[in-house]
């Protein structure tokens, strides 16, 4: 049997292990990216390793998340990022240049390369044939230092595309259909590889939309072949020399093949409060809309926003509807401005936001109480918009534009107009003046650290025994947004003691005070939960802040890939219940004991937990590689290194 595209690229980069799905392998990372919400800590960790210059082929630091300057914290972090990039050999994409995934696709991504980013939507790069993966910032710091990235050798699932999209149906509808098929859980250790005759009908921006939001399935990454469409896109970016053909063998072997006929896809939506809560737009039609937000790294390309402009051109948003536009990059804004599409968007009542993550992370444009917000972004978790009582629906640009015209959720196929098909331009407007190369002489660079920037917190080696209290008990599908908030409070990302005060605030505002009291009593904290713990963002603060607050273990039914790696990186044991029903017998406040825990981790990972409060016992297990065992025993990756 032949090889899949994912296997070909990964095998070319393996430095430890071999292709054997389910087993740990280590791969060489060609390119890295960070964004400002995770980058500051990543570069502080890089500095802590004592490495003077990045060693991978390309490293880029993007400023795109916390660009709102309320208080000094974000501006101070950006000044630090500027100095660190210049000194350590990293390109800097300045605030205002755009969202990391959109800009990286336009200006840096290369087919056949590996890309590791401290953002969970890094798989966007799979749209041009990269193996692009999200991870915690510490893993990115290691990769920048020339270290390998460890992952589970994946099962590769082929999604065989046939047919072609019908008018008013978009790539966003395709990935929403995929989410309906695969759901948001149970896909750890899987790569989705797109193939079949339908691939040739999709442009690179459309492919990037699909690979971007594939992250919500919980897969390792998603990838499209690099073909003539890829070449066309790179040529339009003046980067045709970066193109190379990459495709699967005709007789490639897959763990599973799933058929998807593009001609049968209809307008879809993800209803509150999960990207996996999929409905057809027809099912939701008629619901009044208070806000429409177009943009984010999922749907903010030139084609996306030009399509939106042409739909709303002859209309205007109703007085009680807020219409927000957040382009993905400066390139997109410049092109929209030059050809007049921006005029059409503004004439329809559009409010032009920064080329940044803004509304997607709840850092701006939070809707009113109890609002219905239609968004072209990728996540609609509870409180993600910044308004806990609001309902966010994830839709295509076509469906969003239809709501601007009608004031309600409307199947765009029901609009009384001809579909304005927009083709990808042959030539993009290329202007890299806001991408700053690193200094040629690092010795002349001074790195400025503001008062909000502290050293990465240190952890102690794993103790001989864990005497702890269950500080919080949570349910299924707990996201990193539930654990630590996005939005405006991310300005404390470099100040872990302060940021930790907001742990679990969306679920239990008293968590921090309770955890602090337990620490003062000389005990540790333990978190227990259900299925698919740690969905969503790669934000390592969802592990770093609990570590700072004395969390030594998390016990759940299952984890998502990036979060379990982050827990291990910060010395927190990711235990699983041997009997999932044991969760029901545990309550918040229960005292738990795990004896000889160092021996447990060094051995088979199976432990007997004594519930002192209830007078019962139950079994847990931590399935760790020998490398991961050493990291846990040392108290985390930095101690281990």
What's the pLDDT tens digit per position in 373-398? Answer: 999 999 988 888 888 899 999 999 99
Q: For residue 452, what pLDDT is reported?
A: 87
Closest CA to 503 of 525, 523, 520: 525
What's the pLDDT tens digit per position in 11-67? Answer: 999 999 999 999 999 999 999 999 988 889 899 999 989 999 999 999 999 999 888
Phi/psi-derived region of residue 340, left when phi > 0, alpha when psi is between -120 and 50, beta in every other case: left
- Same domain (yes/no): 260, 292: no
Q: Looking at residues 571-600, what average pLDDT do you find?
A: 97
- Same domain (yes/no): 294, 222: no
Q: Looking at residues 195-202, what average pLDDT do you find?
A: 98
Last residue of a domain, one of 264, 291, 317: 264
Work out the percent of the chain whose per-residue pLDDT is above 70. 100
Per the structure, the count of domains in the chain is 3
What's the pLDDT tens digit per position in 477-498? Answer: 999 999 998 877 888 888 999 9
Q: For residue 153, what pLDDT is reported?
A: 97
DSSP symbols for 434-451: TEEPPPS-GGGPPPP--T
Would 419 be classed as within a structural domain?
Answer: no
Closest CA to 543 of 570, 505, 512: 570
Q: For residue 641, what pLDDT is reported?
A: 85
Query: Which pair of structure tokens corresponds to residue 483?
Result: 């654990």
Would 485 be classed as within a structural domain?
Answer: yes
519 pLDDT band (50/70/90 cuts)?
very high
What SS3 class is residue 162?
strand
Last residue of a domain, one of 227, 245, 264: 264
- Same domain (yes/no): 481, 625: yes
Whole-number Å distance between alpha carbons of 311 and 313: 6
Would 422 be classed as within a structural domain?
Answer: no
Whole-number Å distance between alpha carbons of 574 and 478: 15
Would 590 be classed as within a structural domain?
Answer: yes
- Same domain (yes/no): 37, 162: yes
What's the pLDDT tens digit per position in 299-342? Answer: 999 999 999 999 999 899 999 999 999 999 999 999 999 999 99
Q: For residue 521, what pLDDT is reported?
A: 93
Would 216 be classed as within a structural domain?
Answer: yes
- Same domain (yes/no): 585, 555: yes
How would you label 407-446 residue by residue, b for 16+ Cβ within 10 Å and e otherwise?
bbbbbbbebeeebbebebeeebbeebebbbebeeeeeeee
Last residue of a domain, one of 247, 264, 281: 264
Would 196 be classed as within a structural domain?
Answer: yes
**Residues 333 and 106: beta-carbon distance below 8 Å:** no
Range in 160-169, 178-187, 203-212, 237-246 with the lowest mean pLDDT: 178-187
Whole-number Å distance between alpha carbons of 312 and 295: 15
- Same domain (yes/no): 602, 488: yes
Q: Is the pLDDT of residue 69 over 80?
A: no
What's the pLDDT tens digit per position in 94-144? Answer: 999 999 999 999 999 999 999 999 999 999 999 999 999 999 999 999 999
Q: For residue 314, what pLDDT is reported?
A: 81
Q: For residue 73, what pLDDT is reported?
A: 87
- Same domain (yes/no): 198, 329: no
Whole-number Å distance between alpha carbons of 410 and 287: 8
Range in 321-330, 337-346, 448-457, 617-626 with the lowest mean pLDDT: 448-457
What's the pLDDT tens digit per position in 530-557? Answer: 999 999 888 899 999 999 999 999 999 9
- Same domain (yes/no): 294, 356: yes
363 pLDDT band (50/70/90 cuts)?
confident
Q: For residue 196, what pLDDT is reported?
A: 98
- Same domain (yes/no): 124, 249: yes
Q: Is the N-terminal amide bond of 112 cis, ω within 30° of 0?
A: no
347 pLDDT band (50/70/90 cuts)?
very high
Cβ within 8 Å of residue 245, ≥6 positions away: 111, 225, 226, 227
Q: How many CB atoms lie within 10 A of CB 634?
A: 17
CATH label of the domain that carries residue 572:
3.20.19.10
Q: Is the pLDDT of residue 298 over 80?
A: yes
Q: For residue 86, what pLDDT is reported?
A: 97
- Same domain (yes/no): 245, 384: no
Q: For residue 544, what pLDDT is reported?
A: 95
Whole-number Å distance between alpha carbons of 630 and 568: 10
Would 174 be classed as within a structural domain?
Answer: yes
Would 370 be classed as within a structural domain?
Answer: yes
Q: Looking at residues 72-80, what average pLDDT do you find?
A: 90
Strands (E), 2-113: 14-16, 24-27, 31-35, 58-62, 91-93
What's the pLDDT tens digit per position in 455-472? Answer: 888 899 999 999 999 999
Q: For residue 155, what pLDDT is reported?
A: 97
**Residues 605 and 599: beta-carbon distance below 8 Å:** no
Whole-number Å distance between alpha carbons of 66 and 354: 11
Alpha carbon 428 to its chain centroid, in Å, reads: 27
Cβ within 8 Å of residue 302, ≥6 positions away: 205, 331, 332, 335, 336, 424, 425, 428
How would you label 379-391 residue by residue, b for 16+ Cβ within 10 Å and e otherwise?
bbbbbbbbbeebb
Closest CA to 268 of 315, 213, 320, 309: 213
Whole-number Å distance between alpha carbons of 285 and 403: 10
Q: For residue 378, what pLDDT is reported?
A: 92
CATH label of the domain that carries residue 165:
3.30.499.10
Q: Is the pLDDT of residue 68 over 90?
A: no
- Same domain (yes/no): 193, 283: no
Q: Can you give the residue range of the structural domain that contains 632?
A: 466-640
Q: Is the pLDDT of residue 361 over 90?
A: no
DSSP symbols for 248-261: --TTB--SEEEEEE
Alpha carbon 155 to its chain centroid, in Å, reads: 20
Q: Looking at residues 151-155, what average pLDDT do you find?
A: 96
Burial class of residue 150, CB neighbours in 10 A (0-12, 13-18, 19+): buried
Q: For residue 482, what pLDDT is reported?
A: 93
Q: Which secondary-structure segment (H or E) carries 612?
A: none
Whole-number Å distance between alpha carbons of 165 and 123: 22
- Same domain (yes/no): 136, 176: yes
């Amino acid at each position: 049997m032949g090889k899949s595209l994912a296997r070909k690229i990964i095998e070319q980069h393996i430095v430890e292990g071999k292709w054997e799905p389910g087993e740990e392998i280590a791969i060489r990372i060609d390119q890295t990216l960070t964004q400002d919400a995770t980058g500051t800590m990543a570069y502080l960790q890089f500095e802590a390793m004592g490495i003077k210059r990045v060693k991978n082929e390309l490293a880029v630091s993007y400023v795109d998340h916390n660009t709102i300057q309320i208080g000094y914290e974000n501006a101070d972090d950006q000044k630090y990022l500027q100095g660190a990039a210049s000194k350590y050999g990293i390109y800097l994409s300045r605030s205002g240049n755009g969202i990391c995934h959109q800009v990286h696709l336009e200006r840096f991504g290369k087919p056949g390369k590996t890309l590791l980013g401290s953002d969970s939507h890094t798989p966007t790069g799979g749209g041009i044939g990269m193996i692009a993966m999200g991870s915690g910032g510490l893993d990115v710091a290691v990769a920048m230092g020339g270290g390998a990235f460890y992952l589970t050798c994946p099962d590769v699932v082929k999604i065989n595309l046939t047919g072609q999209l019908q008018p008013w149906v978009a790539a966003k509808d395709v990935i929403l259909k995929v989410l309906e098929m695969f759901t948001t859980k149970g896909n750890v250790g899987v790569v989705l590889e797109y193939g079949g005759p339908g691939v040739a009908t999709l442009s690179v921006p459309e492919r990037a939309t699909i690979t971007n939001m594939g992250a919500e399935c919980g897969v390792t990454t998603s990838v499209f072949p690099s073909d003539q469409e890829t070449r066309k896109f790179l040529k339009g970016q003046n980067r045709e020399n970066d193109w190379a053909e990459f495709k699967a063998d005709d007789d490639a072997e897959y763990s599973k093949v799933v058929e998807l006929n593009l001609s049968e896809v209809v307008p879809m939506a993800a209803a509150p409060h999960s990207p996996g809560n999929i409905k057809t737009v027809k099912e939701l039609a008629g619901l009044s809309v208070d806000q429409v937000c177009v943009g984010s790294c999922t749907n903010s390309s030139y084609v996306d926003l030009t399509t939106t402009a042409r739909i709303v051109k002859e209309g205007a948003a109703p007085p009680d509807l807020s219409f927000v536009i957040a382009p993905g990059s400066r390139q997109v804004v410049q092109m929209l401005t030059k050809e007049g599409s921006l005029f059409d968007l503004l004439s329809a009542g559009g409010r032009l936001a920064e080329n940044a993550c803004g509304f997607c992370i709840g850092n701006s444009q939070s809707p009113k109480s109890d609002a219905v917000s239609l968004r072209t972004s990728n996540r609609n978790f509870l409180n993600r918009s910044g308004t806990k009582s609001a309902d966010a629906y994830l839709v295509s640009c076509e469906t969003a534009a239809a709501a601007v015209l009608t004031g309600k959720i409307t199947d765009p196929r029901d609009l009384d107009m001809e579909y304005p098909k927009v083709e990808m331009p042959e030539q993009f407007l290329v202007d890299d003046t806001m991408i700053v190369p690193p200094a040629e002489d690092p010795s002349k660079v001074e790195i400025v650290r503001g008062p909000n920037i502290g050293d990465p917190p240190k952890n102690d080696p794993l103790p001989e025994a864990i005497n702890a209290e269950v500080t919080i008990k949570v349910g299924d599908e707990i996201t990193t947004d539930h654990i630590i908030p996005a939005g405006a409070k991310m300005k404390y990302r470099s100040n872990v003691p302060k940021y930790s005060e907001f742990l679990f605030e969306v679920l239990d505002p008293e968590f921090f005070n309770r955890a602090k009291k337990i620490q003062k009593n000389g005990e540790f904290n333990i978190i227990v939960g259900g299925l698919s713990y740690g969905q969503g963002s790669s934000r390592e603060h969802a592990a770093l802040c609990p570590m700072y607050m004395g969390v030594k273990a998390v016990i759940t039914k299952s984890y998502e890939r990036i979060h379990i790696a982050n827990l291990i990186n910060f010395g927190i044991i990711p235990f699983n219940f041997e009997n999932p029903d044991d969760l029901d017998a545990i309550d918040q406040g229960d005292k738990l004991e795990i004896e000889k825990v160092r021996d447990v981790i060094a051995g088979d990972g199976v432990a007997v937990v004594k519930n002192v409060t209830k007078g019962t016992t139950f079994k847990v297990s931590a399935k760790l590689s020998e490398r991961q065992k050493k990291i846990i025993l040392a108290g985390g990756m930095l101690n281990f290194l």
